[in-house]
Amino acid sequence: MRWLRFLAVVGIAVALFASSLSQGQAHWISGSSIVSLALTHHERYIYGITDCSALTKKVYQRFGINLPRTSRQQATIGKPVSIKHLQKGDLVFFATGRKGVISHVGIYAGGGKMVDAEYNGIRQTGIFVGPTSHYWKSKYIKARRVL
């Protein structure tokens, strides 16, 4: 009888955990694990196939979080985050074309840097620090937290 009760409790716990994953509740995922996985991708950049939003979609999908396909669509989900409250794993959005129109996304890596996919591959680059910050800081639009 105790054994059956134990199995029932375990079964309920597994069911609750699985349902939380399907609802996008990912409180157990760390931003560091998101960043680490993003840095392991070494696919050649192809616009629309392995571009910036494809990277974020693929990385988050590995943790059971389904993001929309484009950077502009991804910018509508999650919770807004101010620059001073950025955490590893947050999505950061930029307007690299028309002013104010989101066209690029990266994963905040901490220390003022992000991991993103650009024409020269997936890399960690400075948004608010380092030699590339003058470019990215001027293009920054907003950040969203989906974890």
CATH number assigned to the domain comprising residue 44: 3.90.1720.10
Q: Would you say residue 18 lies in a domain?
A: no
CA nearest to 141, candidates 57, 52, 71, 88: 71
Q: Which residues have CB under 8 Å from 71's CB, separation 6+?
A: 52, 53, 56, 93, 102, 103, 104, 105
The answer to whether position 20 is within a domain reads no
The contacts of residue 69 (CB under 8 Å, 6+ apart) are 53, 54, 57
Count up the domains in the chain and report the number: 1
Residue 26 has pLDDT above 90, yes or no: no
- Per-residue pLDDT band at 13 (split at 50, 70, 90): very low
> 15 lies in a domain?
no
pLDDT digits (tens, 9 = 90+) for 31-70: 999 999 999 876 665 555 558 999 999 999 999 999 999 9
- Residue 41, in any domain of the structure: yes
Tell me what pLDDT residue 7 has.
Answer: 41
Residue 5 lies in a domain: no
pLDDT value at 127 more than 60? yes
Q: Is the pTM of this model over 0.85?
A: no
Range of the domain at 51: 29-145
